[in-house]
Structure 1
Amino acid sequence: MVEKIKKRVLITGSRGILGRALVERLKAKYKIAALTHKNCDITDSKKVAAIFARFKPEIVIHSAACTDVDECQRDPRKAYAVNAQGAVNIAKSCASLGAILIYISTDYVFSGKKKTPYRETDATGPLSIYAKSKLMAEKSVRRLVKRHIIVRTSWIFGKGRKGFLNNVLSWAKSKKRLKIVSDKYSSPTSADDLAAALDRIIIRMGGNGWKDRFFGTYHITSSGFCSWYGWARYALKNVKAKVRLEPIGMAQMGFAARRPPFSALDNSKYKKTFGIGLRPWQKAVKEYIKCVCN
């Protein structure tokens, strides 16, 4: 029996919340190159090109980024180097090898002025250095790589030390009162569910039914949306934490960077193209809490 040759998939940001989920999901199916900031400085074009030349990826999932929105505002040079120029370096290496690029972007490319979830065709309006650097990356990917998929997502949670949900669960163990922003809305998104959605895209790419028109931009998040306050309240209810939540506004937080007040994403294009959407954020959060608290 002839062993089937596994596709070569390169993942950047493999130690991040999404990166971890991707490696765990894909490692049995594909030959994986899991890159971190320690073994690949994406701001160094020569190092990126050398790694690509050795591994020769067929598909690249670029999830590495400087995601601390306030840090990006305080250090624009780093933000643009990592998020914008890093994406250019990855995109050029993909183009040179003919690799497909799946780029992970953000809901923050929108201004938040809408009252209904954003579609892929809606005008962008980034409010922060972080958002501007990610939008620059999107434009570079479109310009440099013909076969690309840009995935805008939001509020990713999963295994790891960082992230809003992990912080709330940790704070609840030692604090009696938490002040949580109540006027910022988006969609909590399970890293495991997002990894499964990206896997579904890769599987479809390998089938006879794949069309070049499927390349492009997709919004992929868990179904539904809420505020940070609503998310925290739901999570703490599920762990029966005895902590008092106080809603506050973004203006009271003293953030260095502006955030869009409403940046929920419309997932209908992904559902229509791939035949299935992600489950409601409440179900994903509840399952995650059971996993980490047991």
Structure 2
Amino acid sequence: MEKAKKTILITGASGLLGRALFKGLGTGYRLIRLSHRDADVTREKRILRIFASLRPWLVIHSAAYTDVDGCESNPEKAFAVNALGTLNIVKAAKKTHSIVLYLSTDYVFAGRKKSPYREEDAAHPVSIYGKSKLKGEEFIRKLLKRYVIIRTSWLFGCGRSTFINTVLKQARKRRALKIIAEKYSSPTYAADLAEAIGRVIDGINSKSWQDKFYGTYHITNSGFCSWYDYAQYILQVKGISNVKILPISLADMKFKARRPVFSALDNSKYAGLTGKPMRSWQEAVKEFAV
């Protein structure tokens, strides 16, 4: 008789990462999508009922309000979704003894370092978005014993417009693009992140390794760049040579929310545990864009 597959519930399943997870996790688990249409994470009773019915072994909580300037304009929504919504997931998971894997962000850091942030570095978010995501992390650490927090950055992939799509779209219309040159982080291919998450989940599912995989991880494609460098590489990969990239500063953009200037993440903890270093952001961008 075939052994029953463990159930993994994915919130934010219609998003960029949610779509990649359904492709990347394979057939070893019973995967259940939970989009905003299925259940708003801010509705505690609804979330409790879903967990009681499905009793997931593990939940990947990727649902979030990620509009950085939108969060600054509407902090009530930011904290309702990113903090209290996460608390609702945590409460439900406690009742069903489910493991929580939470997707967080490089924006929990202030961005004042000159080298990539490690997991143990102090978090000092400078925006409402970063603060609301950090509050979600704090609820998880305070209330759960079995959890994984994965911080990532600059996600790109299929199913949603991202920086790559924007650059290519603008390059078809203009001969010069103004791109910020002083903001640094790590582009991350959603397919690569989904594969890495799969390795972490497989580790948790291994009786001899499971306890070693709980905790906080930074997972991005390796290396880092500025938005300016990123845009130049995108055009290079696509063979577009008749469009100039003009460097500008963060101040020129007049964003409503502050951004960390340097928020690249150090992946060495993940690579050391799994023995699978993340490939470079250049390799990932080239595969996706070409």
TM-score by length of 2: 0.97
Question: Residue 34 of structure 1: SS of its match in structure 2?
Answer: strand
Return the offset for 1:289: 0.6
The answer on whether the counterparts of 1:92 and 1:145 sit within 8 Å (CA) in structure 2 is no
Cα distance between partner residues in 1 of 2:95 and 2:162: 35
Return the offset for 1:211: 4.2
The answer on whether the counterparts of 1:33 and 1:55 sit within 8 Å (CA) in structure 2 is no
The answer on whether the counterparts of 2:22 and 2:31 sit within 8 Å (CA) in structure 1 is yes
Return the offset for 1:208: 2.9
Greater alpha carbon shift after TM alignment, 90-99 vs 239-248: 239-248
Work out whether 1:52 is the aligned partner of 2:60.
Answer: no
Question: Counterpart of 1:101 in structure 2: which amino acid?
Answer: V
Question: Counterpart of 1:92 in structure 2: which amino acid?
Answer: K
Cα distance between partner residues in 1 of 2:138 and 2:192: 26
1:164-200 CA deviation, whole Å, 9 max, x = no partner?
1222122222222211111000000010000000000
The answer on whether the counterparts of 2:72 and 2:128 sit within 8 Å (CA) in structure 1 is yes
Cα distance between partner residues in 1 of 2:121 and 2:243: 39
Cα distance between partner residues in 1 of 2:68 and 2:197: 24
Which residue number corresponds to residue 172 of structure 2? 173
Greater alpha carbon shift after TM alignment, 277-286 vs 208-217: 208-217
Q: Give % identity.
A: 53
Return the offset for 1:163: 1.7
Cα distance between partner residues in 2 of 1:7 and 1:27: 13
Cα distance between partner residues in 1 of 2:160 and 2:275: 33
1:71-122 CA deviation, whole Å, 9 max, x = no partner?
0001101101110111000111111111111000000101111101111111
Which residue number corresponds to residue 93 of structure 1? 92
Question: Residue 8 of structure 2: SS of its match in structure 1?
Answer: strand
Which residue number corresponds to residue 277 of structure 1? 277
Which residue number corresponds to residue 248 of structure 1? 248
1:250-276 CA deviation, whole Å, 9 max, x = no partner?
110010000000001111111111111
Question: Residue 259 of structure 2: SS of its match in structure 1?
Answer: coil
Cα distance between partner residues in 1 of 2:30 and 2:150: 22
Question: Counterpart of 2:15 in structure 1: which amino acid?
Answer: G
The answer on whether the counterparts of 2:117 and 2:264 sit within 8 Å (CA) in structure 1 is yes
Which residue number corresponds to residue 223 of structure 1? 222
Cα distance between partner residues in 1 of 2:119 and 2:95: 28
Work out whether 1:289 is the aligned partner of 2:282.
Answer: no
After TM superposition, the runs of 4+ consecutive aligned structure 1 residues lying more than 6 A away are none
Work out whether 1:84 is the aligned partner of 2:83.
Answer: yes
Which residue number corresponds to residue 133 of structure 1? 132
1:1-294 alignment runs, 5 A limit: 2-26=1-25, 28-241=27-240, 242-290=242-290
Question: Residue 48 of structure 2: SS of its match in structure 1?
Answer: helix
Return the offset for 1:27: 5.2
Greater alpha carbon shift after TM alignment, 251-260 vs 157-166: 157-166
Greater alpha carbon shift after TM alignment, 253-262 vs 166-175: 166-175
1:124-159 CA deviation, whole Å, 9 max, x = no partner?
110000000000000001112210000011101100
Cα distance between partner residues in 2 of 1:166 and 1:49: 38
Cα distance between partner residues in 2 of 1:200 and 1:165: 27
Greater alpha carbon shift after TM alignment, 206-215 vs 73-82: 206-215
Cα distance between partner residues in 2 of 1:67 and 1:230: 23
Cα distance between partner residues in 2 of 1:14 and 1:170: 26
Structure 2 residue ranges without an equivalent (≥5): none
Greater alpha carbon shift after TM alignment, 235-244 vs 148-157: 235-244
Question: Residue 254 of structure 2: SS of its match in structure 1?
Answer: coil
The answer on whether the counterparts of 2:99 and 2:147 sit within 8 Å (CA) in structure 1 is yes
Question: Counterpart of 2:174 in structure 1: which amino acid?
Answer: K
* RMSD of equivalent CA atoms: 1.1
Question: Residue 9 of structure 1: SS of its match in structure 2?
Answer: strand
